[in-house]
Amino acid sequence: MSYSPIALFVYKRPEHTRRVLESLMQCPEFDDSPLYIFCDGAKKEEDKDKVIQAREVVRSMVGAKAEIVESPTNRGLANSITSGVTSLCNKYGRVIVLEDDLVVAPQFLSFLNAALDKYQDESSVMQISGYMFPVPEFINKTEAVFLPFTTSWGWGTWKRAWDCFDAQASGWEILQTNKQMRLRFNLDGSFDYFNMLKMQMSGEIDSWAIRWYWSVFKKNGCVIFPPISYVTNIGFDSSGTHGSRSAKLLLSSNTKLERATNISFDTLINIKKYEYNLVKKMIKKLNNKILVSIKNIPKLLSQIIKTF
């Protein structure tokens, strides 16, 4: 069987990188999956030692297996992911994407590959997510969930979908005047994605993820999610460029990743209102917890932008 290539993006967190690779190695499909590791260059002089250490971890753990791309300069996460995903989609037609703060369950690669196979010719399905918000009602659910928005915590896509990525976010201005569309973009008020996009377009942040969401939104695309998360983020410990304690409260999941679940996929592509409402309710609940404890919302949004 042919498995999708894995793209892992690494910067300056050697211990996090080790843990991510260790978790990937627990996936049965890992040995037969092409592995590409993109190592960004140091942004500041004081980052160089950590960047070198992260690269040493990569070489020592998977040097014989992976194709390692080491940038001599700092490209930034947005540029690194955009170019890396594009190159692998062009070569393989699909890709599975991880960053250096995402620990995965042993079922992660199985779920992503199965979904990428199942929906490869369904133009309305534009992404597979390995992460799911901690919705209590989904604990015993065994069917995948269709939702109309993207995430960036362990995901996969195809060339046909990624070709729709609009780096310029053309047409985004309509959200400023079309209140109904803006509400839908914000998941009916559950989270202010519009403000994130506006910050992106004003140059306050640099995110591939919010532009990818807008690209999918414009196409009325949907995303496949597992009912329970196969990904947890270990990066909210002040080690990352974008992390924060508040962001961890907003989007951390208490999912026990070791739980084994065989997920089924529906042939009928349908966003079920009941399931979508449960997810929106959870996002809004977590978001509200943050809003009562902080005053500077734009700052928080910039901190958590890489999450989506």
* Per-residue pLDDT reduced to its tens digit, 99-134: 999 999 999 999 999 999 999 999 999 999 999 999
- pLDDT at position 72: 97
- pLDDT at position 241: 47
The pLDDT-based confidence of 63 (bands split at 50, 70, 90) is very high
Maximum separation of any 2 CA atoms in the chain, in Å: 53
Q: Is the pLDDT at 178 greater than 60, yes or no?
A: yes
CATH code of domain 6-307: 3.90.550.10
- pLDDT at position 261: 67
- pLDDT at position 289: 65
Compute the CA torsion angle 94, 230, 148, 141 (nearest 10 deg). 130
- pLDDT at position 286: 83
The pLDDT-based confidence of 254 (bands split at 50, 70, 90) is very low
- Pair of tokens at residue 50: 């950590």
Nearby residues of 161 by Cβ (< 8 Å), 6 or more positions away: 123, 125, 126, 127, 216, 221
Helix axes 14-25, 48-62, angle to 10 degrees: 20
Q: Is the pLDDT at 303 greater than 80, yes or no?
A: no
Side-chain-side CA neighbours of 233 within 13 Å: the count stands at 30
Average pLDDT over residues 239-248: 44
Q: Among 180-184, 206-210, 294-298, which is the least confidently predicted range?
A: 294-298
The model scores a pTM over 0.85? yes
At 40, give phi and psi (nearest 5°).
Answer: -80, 155
Work out the mean pLDDT of the chain and round it to a whole number.
Answer: 89
Task: Give just the sign of the alpha carbon dihedral 58, 64, 65, 71.
Answer: positive
Q: Is the pLDDT at 307 greater than 50, yes or no?
A: no
Q: Among 70-79, 204-213, 280-289, which is the least confidently predicted range?
A: 280-289
Nearby residues of 47 by Cβ (< 8 Å), 6 or more positions away: 12
Give the integer Cα–Cα distance in Å for 216 and 271.
15
Residue with tokens 């591939």, as numbered in its chain:
208
- pLDDT single digits (tens) 134-163: 999 999 999 999 999 999 999 999 999 999
Give the integer Cα–Cα distance in Å for 36 and 83.
13
Residue with tokens 């594009």, as numbered in its chain:
86
CA distances from 1 to 66, 71, 97, 140, 203 (A): 19, 32, 20, 30, 44
Contact (CB, 8 A) for 223 and 125: yes
Q: DSSP letters along 29-48, please?
A: TGGGS-EEEEEPPPSSGGGH
Residue 176, classified by CB atoms within 10 Å of its CB into exposed (0-12), middle (13-18) or buried (19+), is exposed
Nearby residues of 202 by Cβ (< 8 Å), 6 or more positions away: none
The pLDDT-based confidence of 277 (bands split at 50, 70, 90) is very high
- pLDDT at position 291: 54
